[in-house]
Amino acid sequence: MDRSTDIELRLLIEAIYLKYSYDFRDYSGASVKRRVAHALRQFDCKTISALQERVLHDPTAFMQLLQFLTIPVSEMFRDPSHFLAIRQEVVPLLKTYPSIKIWIAGCSTGEEVYSMAILLREEGLLERTIIYATDINPNSLDKAKQGIFSLENVRAYTHNYQQAGGKQSFADYYTAAYDYAIFDKTLRENVTFADHSLATDSVFSETQLISCRNVLIYFNKKLQDRAFGLFHESLCHRGFLVLGSKETLDFSAYSKQFEPLVKQERIYRKS
Amino acid sequence: MNETAVSLARVPGVQAIVVGASAGGVEALLSIFGALAPGFSLPIIAVLHLPDERRSQLAEVFDRRVAMTVVEARDKEQIQPGTLYFAGPGYHLSVEHDRSLSLSQEERVHHSRPAIDYLFESAADAYGPNLLAILLTGANQDGARGLTHVKQRGGITVVQDPSDARVDVMPKAALALHTPDHILTLSRIGDLLASLESSPC
- Residue B119 near residue B95, CB atoms below 8 Å: yes
CB contacts of A6 in chain B (<8 Å) are 125
Per-residue pLDDT for A213 more than 70?
Answer: yes
Asked if B104 lies within 8 A of A2 by C-beta distance, the reply is no
Q: How close are the terminal C-alpha atoms of chain A, in Å?
A: 49
Which helix or strand (DSSP H or E) is residue A70 part of? none
Asked if A246 lies within 8 A of B125 by C-beta distance, the reply is no
CB contacts of A214 in chain B (<8 Å) are 105
Whether B92 is catalytic: no
CATH architecture of B15-198: 3-Layer(aba) Sandwich (3.40)
What pLDDT, on a 0 to 100 scale, did the predictor assign at position A3? Answer: 79
What are the extents of the domains in chain B? 15-198
Peptide bond into B114 cis (omega under 30): yes
Query: Could you tell me which chain A residue has the CA closest to the CA of B123?
Result: A30
β-strand pairing of A174-177 with B92-95:
unpaired
Say how far apart CA B165 and CA B25 lie, in whole Å: 9
Q: What is the largest CA-CA distance in chain A?
A: 60
pLDDT category, A72, cuts 50, 70, 90?
confident
> ipTM for the complex?
0.91
Nearest to B88 among A29, A246, A248 (CB): A246
pLDDT in tens, chain B (201 residues): 444 445 544 556 899 999 999 999 999 999 999 989 898 999 999 999 977 665 678 898 899 999 999 999 999 999 999 999 999 999 999 999 999 999 999 989 998 999 999 999 999 999 999 999 999 999 999 999 999 999 999 999 999 999 999 999 999 999 999 999 999 999 999 999 988 865 554
pLDDT > 90: percent of chain A: 96
What pLDDT, on a 0 to 100 scale, did the predictor assign at position B1? Answer: 46
pTM: 0.93
Whether B22 is catalytic: yes
CB contacts of A73 in chain B (<8 Å) are 105-107
Whether B142 is catalytic: yes
Burial class from Cβ neighbours inside 10 Å (0-12, 13-18, 19+) for residue A205 reads exposed
Neighbours of A58 (CB within 10 A): 12
Burial class from Cβ neighbours inside 10 Å (0-12, 13-18, 19+) for residue B38 reads exposed
Q: Domains along chain A?
A: 2-69 (no CATH), 80-270 (3.40.50.150)
Residues in chain A: 271
